Amino acid sequence: MSISISNSLPTESPAAANSSSNSAPAPSAQPITSAPADTVKLSESQQIHQLYNEGQKVSQIAFNLNITVEAVNSYLGIRNATG
């Protein structure tokens, strides 16, 4: 499992796209181009801390990332605890 954050430019609103004038023909539609989405790839350690800070239990994080509970505890600095 990986977490990614993306940011893309807003596209034209449906109301603006559907509005047309009855007296003149509509101009030809230009394709909307957008900049590539910004993405961030988090390391396993960063993913664990992010998920833990979002309130997920250690056992959920271990299951979702396909790693052991002990590994999650190690990343979080938790000793002798179970999720």
The pLDDT of residue 8:
53
Question: Rounded distance, CA 19 to CA 33, Å?
Answer: 20
Question: Rounded distance, CA 51 to CA 45, Å?
Answer: 10
The answer to whether 76 and 52 are in contact (CB under 8 A) is yes
Mean pLDDT of the chain: 77
The answer on pLDDT for 81 being more than 80 is no
pTM of the model: 0.51
User: Which 8-state DSSP code applies to residue 33?
Assistant: -
Element (H, E) at 63: helix 58-65
The ranges assigned to domains in the chain are 43-83
The pLDDT of residue 79:
86
Greater pLDDT, 82 or 38: 38
Question: Rounded distance, CA 55 to CA 68, Å?
Answer: 18
